[in-house]
Amino acid sequence: MRPIRMAVLGAADIARRRMLPAMASVPEIEPVVVASRDPDRAAALAGEYGLGAERSYEAVLRRDDLDAVYLPLPNALHFPWAERALEAGLHVLVEKPLTTSRDHTARLQLLAGGRGLVLMEAMMFVCHRQHEQVRALMAGLGTPLAFAAAFTVPPRPGADIRYRPDLGGGALLDTGVYPLRAAQHLLGPDLRVAAAVLRHDRALGVDVGGEALLLSPDGVTAHLEFGLDRPYRCRYEISGTAGRLLLDRAFTPPPGLAPTALLTDPAGAVTKLPLAADDQFAALLRRFARAVRAGRAPAEDVEASLAQARLLHDLREAARRVTV
């Protein structure tokens, strides 16, 4: 069976470090061309993998040797270029978040569905096998009571696109989507926002950190922390009536890393539980290829992306903004 022929729109660091190596390792995917507004960057990245290079995204969408595109563009460019790619008849894999707004996400999903094309959000971490193992372990925690997740990183260089409001920058859409999606993944899609705070940097014009408290229909709380302004943390924890489970490196484990969950019993004794190593980028690409061959994205992926977009919208609406 012929592999899915893909283009990469944008010479982003995530494409160079993680996605293109994963594409090269997955037989179901064939990377074909890289495009960038900077021709030198496109040529350099394409040269690393023996691919073609294009000087414009428009040129890629006019080609007749592609099945799909991967968009690692700045957040504000996801919607317009995903829309154009779908209108060109291409399947689309978009870096998280799918778009910067609830309405744009819904519009793209309607467009993809109407044209019989696959639109998927590249939320890689949920494809890692460790999270299914965590789900199985949750049965031993008793009645769930609370969930806590954090994804925070130290400040970036001043010119980083994450600090560009015109490009959809800010901590909520960069690191905040991870703990939010983890809460949805483990507690269910029907979470609501109980409270939220966003730390808004006056000079940069974006939120650089924040916290949120979510509530599930059955009363489980989810405390989320995210930021571009504090020490590195990448973990989540689930507490129940019969124990507590902690998973570190939850969102960005490198390929080959064998994760370890820490299980604490009611008496405070801690047990280390080895989990399966995985390459979450390769797992996502295999999922995308299966969807393209089936002619539709998995219903649970479509529903999760839209639920996430709605929850991000509600969080922004409910948030108290603290200016720093």
Q: Can you give the pTM of this predicted structure?
A: 0.96
Query: Does residue 66 belong to any structural domain of this protein?
Result: yes
Position 1 scores a pLDDT of 84
Q: Which of 16, 18, 96, 244 is catalytic?
A: 96
Please tell me whether residues 220 and 76 are part of one structural domain: no
In terms of DSSP H, where are the helices of 116-212? 129-137, 171, 177-187
Query: Does residue 296 belong to any structural domain of this protein?
Result: no
For CA atoms 46, 47, 53, 55, the dihedral sign is: positive
Question: 124, 146, 173: which is the final residue of a domain?
Answer: 124
Please tell me whether residues 192 and 104 are part of one structural domain: no
Q: What is the pLDDT along the chain (324 residues), one digit of tens a residue?
A: 899 999 999 999 999 999 999 999 999 999 999 999 998 999 999 999 999 999 999 999 999 999 999 999 999 999 999 999 999 999 999 999 999 999 999 999 999 999 999 999 999 999 999 999 999 999 999 999 999 999 999 999 988 999 999 999 999 999 999 999 999 999 999 999 999 999 999 999 999 999 999 999 999 999 999 999 999 999 999 999 999 999 999 999 999 899 999 999 999 999 999 999 999 999 999 999 999 999 999 999 999 999 999 999 999 999 999 999
Query: Does residue 301 belong to any structural domain of this protein?
Result: no
Residues composing the chain:
324
The residue type of 242 is: A
3-class DSSP assignment, residue 213: strand
Please tell me whether residues 135 and 179 are part of one structural domain: yes
Position 256 scores a pLDDT of 86
Please tell me whether residues 8 and 108 are part of one structural domain: yes
CATH of the domain at 190: 3.30.360.10
Query: Does residue 302 belong to any structural domain of this protein?
Result: no
Please tell me whether residues 104 and 155 are part of one structural domain: no
Position 149 scores a pLDDT of 98
Tokens 């916290």 appear where? 211
- Is 96 designated active site? yes
Q: Which of 111, 106, 54 is nearest to 84 (CA)?
A: 111
E-assigned strands of the chain? Answer: 4-9, 29-35, 52-54, 68-71, 91-95, 119-122, 144-152, 192-201, 206-215, 221-227, 233-240, 243-248, 260-264, 270-274, 320-323
What DSSP character marks residue 19? I
Please tell me whether residues 175 and 67 are part of one structural domain: no
Please tell me whether residues 249 and 105 are part of one structural domain: no
Please tell me whether residues 194 and 103 are part of one structural domain: no
Query: Does residue 291 belong to any structural domain of this protein?
Result: no
Half-sphere exposure of 303 (CA within 13 A, CB side): 8
Please tell me whether residues 111 and 145 are part of one structural domain: no
| Number of domains the chain contains | 2
Please tell me whether residues 120 and 132 are part of one structural domain: no
Query: Does residue 269 belong to any structural domain of this protein?
Result: yes
Position 162 scores a pLDDT of 95
Please tell me whether residues 258 and 274 are part of one structural domain: yes
Please tell me whether residues 61 and 140 are part of one structural domain: no
Cis peptide before 80 (omega within 30 of 0): no
Query: Does residue 292 belong to any structural domain of this protein?
Result: no
Expressed as residue numbers, the domain containing 24 is 4-124
How far is Cα 148 from Cα 45, in angstroms, rounded to an integer?
A: 38
- Look up residue 198 and give its two tokens: 């966003």
First to last CA, the chain: 55
Position 288 scores a pLDDT of 98
Residue 322 CB coordination number (10 Å): 12
CATH of the domain at 104: 3.40.50.720
Question: 73, 107, 124: which is the final residue of a domain?
Answer: 124
Question: 68, 90, 124: which is the final residue of a domain?
Answer: 124
Position 19 scores a pLDDT of 97
